[in-house]
Amino acid sequence: MRSVGGKLVRLVGAGVALVLAVVLGSAGWVAYESYGRVHDVPDAPEAPVVLVLGSQVRDGKPMKYLTGRLDAAVALVESGRAQAILVSGDANGASGNEIAAMTDYLVDAGIDSSIIVGDDYGLDTYDSCVRAAETFGVTDALVVSQGLHVSRAVALCRDAGIDAHGVDAECDCNPMALARNFGREWLARPKVVLDLMSGRPPAVQTPPDDALIAVG
């Protein structure tokens, strides 16, 4: 019995060590790829496009995380740091149509609808980055999100071939929501490794779209 118990402990220990190695290794890769490329709104460099990553909506309106990202995009365009906005998310999301909610919010904030392009199939961060590059021809962009997600988005977009800089948007969120998002981001790190190693295509592939080229 002791022998069996000892083997079980060793197996569990090995499994924990492997998980930690994957999490820390992926976190290290993200930190390396995004080093020096995450900025606050006033310090962001110029780029042709702002890529706004989707998040939950409620009753057709962006919730706090998404509102913060959209407000940052508005500030970037109004300050002349970008000329177009690509809103990328799930048009058929569980909480509602993220693309419609983002577009309406931007227009209500005074952004000309002609410079807003929507990607209905940015189902996760990896898909948003790959589709931005492959479907919409983005080669240089500011990627807007919050906290740890910004650095992960920058790393994934750079791997997709985009010269990406991140913009860390504000969020008028309660501490519990911030802590939950922090934990979720750490758990998302291993998925980065799986996505990159697999080289998988986006979940939805569509023909090239020149809408952003037309804006430029």
123-164: pLDDT as tens digits: 999 999 999 999 999 999 999 999 888 998 999 999 999 999
Segment 160-182 shows an average pLDDT of 78
Beta strands at 116-119 and 84-88: parallel, antiparallel or unpaired:
parallel
Is 179's pLDDT higher than 70? no
pLDDT at residue 171 in the model: 78
Is 197's pLDDT higher than 60? yes
Report the distance separating Cα 87 and Cα 101, nearest Å. 10
Of 211 and 5, the structure prediction assigns the larger pLDDT to 211
> How many CB atoms lie under 10 A from the CB of residue 138?
27
Is 63's pLDDT higher than 80? yes
Helices 98-108 and 64-78: angle between axes, nearest 10 degrees: 50
| Element at 117 (helix H, strand E) | strand 116-119
Let me know: does 171 contact 146? Beta carbons within 8 Å. yes
88 pairs with which residues across the strands? 53, 119
- Percentage of the chain modeled with pLDDT above 70: 75
pLDDT at residue 1 in the model: 47
Q: What is the pTM of this model?
A: 0.83
3-state secondary structure 142-153: EEEECCHHHHHH
pLDDT band at 184 (very low <50, low <70, confident <90, very high): low
